[in-house]
Every structure is written in C-alpha cells, then in structure tokens.
C-alpha cells in the first residue's frame, strides 16, 4: 500500500471495465463501493478466499477505514482520488471499492437443493428495485434470488449499492428461463406464488400455504408477471389494500409478501 495508482494504471483501467455489464461478464467480477458493501465482501472472503480479488482505497479512505482493512488478507491498493472517482458511479465517491467475483449459481443447483424461501424476478427493469429486493429477501430469510432473462443486472453499481451488502448473503441466479425452473421447483414440492394485483388469492387468506417452502414470483414494474409464467404458478396472489392507491411499488409489494412468508415460516 505504498505507491498511489492513477486512473491510467493497468489495474484501475481493468477495474473500470467492470462498471459495464459486458466487462463484468467477461471478467467474472463486479465492483462493490463503500464501507458497508466492502465490509460484507471482506467478511465473506474470510471463508471464501476467491470472493474478493482486491480493494482500492484513497489515502483518506484507507485512514478512515483502517480497522476494516488492516486485518484482511485481500490485497489493498492505494489510489488517487481521481482514480477512485473513475471507479464510482456516484456523485460523491467514497474512495473505497472492492473487486469481487460474480456470485452466480446455476439454476440447476438451485432446483436440486431449493431453500425454504426464494424469489424470482421476471423482467424487473430498475436496478434500484433489484438491490432493494435483494436486501428485503435477505432480511426475510430467503436463500436465493433469481433474476430471470431480461431482468436488471444485480451486479450493476446501483443494484449493489441498493442491496446494502445483502448481495453477499444470498445465492444469485442470473438469466435463467423461469418457466422450466418453476416446473422443476413445483415438482420438488415448492409452492410457487405469483404476485398479481388482480390475483384470485389474497395474501391474508393463504394461511399454511406460506409455511411450506415457497418461491415468490415478481414481475416487471409496469407489466407485472408475464401471463404465461403466472399461469404456471400455484396461485396468483394479490395484496389487500384498504386505501385508494392503484397499486404498490414492486419493491414494496415484495417486502409485504416476503415478510408475511417469514412470519408464517417462523
């Protein structure tokens, strides 16, 4: 941690490519910025040495987070403020960025050993919602989040920030065709529920259905769960609302459904 790397250095230039999805997929890595995300990444690296490849920090950030960086076996490289800014997608860069390995799990492995609670996202477009659903799923004890083909990339900067470190606590499946996965999970006794404002089942009337293993399907912010995918679920579920709001934000709906499931599963 002696010589300051600039934005022109090879390491920084390689890391900068990870701000684009093509670069992340090619390198098999993504960026996690800020103390919370870097802290969770380094905690994971204790048990999984391949989880974090390196950390970039400005001199100010290294001093401010000395307690976090001092004991890690992950290489920590000092960079200039300008170099740190080139790796950030925020207006006010925090000067602390980790290069982390993608956490993708094959859909087949999820189907072979499904958790008691999982989430699948069909065409979710907003990366902020992607990160918020990850954070909510983590808070409610879910074991996996599936990003169906066409959904936002959970490894993009906004999604990673919105997940507040929860990305490192869950299994992540990307780009999976959801209909075959739903069929495989139902065959293993998993109840598949599609969140739908016009659903025939009401969330408050599901009773013991939520107590068993459950996969929740959430769709695109504007269009919802595709009809053919909703038809493959065990039920389409609506959230009862007493007020006059037309609908709920996707992330808010996911929070309500997942919290109700958490309560049922004890």
Residues 138 and 242 in one domain: yes
In this structure, the answer to whether residues 116 and 196 fall within a common structural domain is yes
Clarify whether residues 199 and 172 are in a common domain.
yes
Whether residue 80 is predicted with pLDDT greater than 90 in this model: the reply is yes
Residues 76 and 193 in one domain: no
Instruction: Report pLDDT for 18.
Output: 98
Confirm whether 1 is domain-assigned: no
Question: 89 in a domain, yes or no?
Answer: yes
116 and 78 together in one domain:
no
* Residue 118 domain flag: yes
In a domain, residue 5? The reply is no
As a whole number, the mean pLDDT across the chain is: 96
In this structure, the answer to whether residues 146 and 259 fall within a common structural domain is yes
The CATH number assigned to the domain holding 120 equals: 3.40.1280.10
Residue 3 belongs to some domain of the structure:
no
In this structure, the answer to whether residues 16 and 58 fall within a common structural domain is yes
User: How many angstroms separate the Cα of 182 from the Cα of each of 113, 190, 211, 233?
Assistant: 14, 9, 18, 7
Over 60: is that where the pLDDT of 123 sits?
yes
If asked whether residues 34 and 165 sit together in one domain, one would say no
**Statement to judge: residues 67 and 160 lie in one domain:** no
Among 35, 69, 101, identify where a domain stops: 101
Query: H-type helices in the chain, by residue range?
Result: 10-16, 21-27, 35-47, 59-64, 66-69, 81-86, 107-112, 127-139, 157-163, 178-187, 227-231, 250-265
Q: Which domain holds residue 155?
A: 107-265
Q: Show which of 46, 68, 101 is a domain's final residue.
A: 101
CATH number of the domain to which 76 belongs: 3.30.1330.30
- Per-residue pLDDT tens for 191-250? 999 999 999 999 999 999 999 999 999 999 999 999 999 999 999 999 999 999 888 999
State the average pLDDT over residues 175-184: 95
The answer as to whether 42 is a domain residue is yes
- In tens, the pLDDT along 102-119 reads 999 999 999 999 999 999
User: Of 101, 118, 146, which residue constitutes the final position of a domain?
Assistant: 101
**Domain tally, the chain:** 2
Span 31-69, pLDDT tens digits: 999 999 999 999 999 999 999 999 999 999 999 999 999
Closest CA to 182 of 110, 256, 130: 110
Q: Do 154 and 239 fall within a single domain?
A: yes
Class of residue 131 by CB neighbours under 10 A (exposed 0-12, middle 13-18, buried 19+): buried
Same structural domain for residues 235 and 186? yes
Check whether 2 has a pLDDT greater than 80: no
């Amino acid at each position: 941690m002696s010589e300051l790397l600039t934005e022109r250095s090879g390491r920084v230039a390689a890391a900068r490519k990870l701000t684009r999805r093509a670069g992340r997929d090619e390198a098999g890595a993504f960026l996690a910025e800020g103390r919370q995300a870097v802290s969770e990444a380094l905690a994971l690296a204790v048990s999984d040495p391949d989880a974090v490849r390196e950390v970039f920090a400005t001199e100010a950030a290294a001093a401010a987070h000395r307690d976090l960086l001092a004991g890690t076996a992950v290489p920590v490289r000092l960079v200039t403020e300008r170099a740190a800014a080139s790796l950030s997608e925020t207006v006010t860069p925090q000067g602390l960025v980790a290069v982390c390995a993608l956490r993708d799990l094959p859909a087949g492995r999820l189907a072979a050993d499904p958790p008691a609670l999982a989430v699948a996202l069909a065409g979710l477009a907003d990366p902020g919602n992607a990160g918020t659903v990850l954070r909510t799923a983590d808070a409610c004890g879910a074991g996996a989040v599936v990003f169906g083909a066409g959904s936002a990339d959970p490894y993009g900067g906004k999604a990673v920030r919105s997940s507040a470190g929860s990305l490192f606590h869950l299994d992540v499946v990307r780009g999976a065709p959801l209909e075959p996965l739903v069929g495989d999970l139902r065959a293993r006794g998993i109840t598949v529920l599609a969140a739908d404002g016009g659903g025939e089942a009401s969330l408050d009337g599901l009773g013991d259905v939520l107590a068993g293993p459950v996969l929740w399907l959430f769709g695109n912010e504007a269009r919802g769960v595709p009809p053919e995918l909703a038809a493959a679920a065990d039920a389409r579920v609506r959230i009862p609302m007493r007020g006059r709001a037309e609908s709920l934000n996707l992330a808010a709906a996911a929070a309500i459904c997942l919290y109700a499931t958490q309560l049922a599963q004890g």
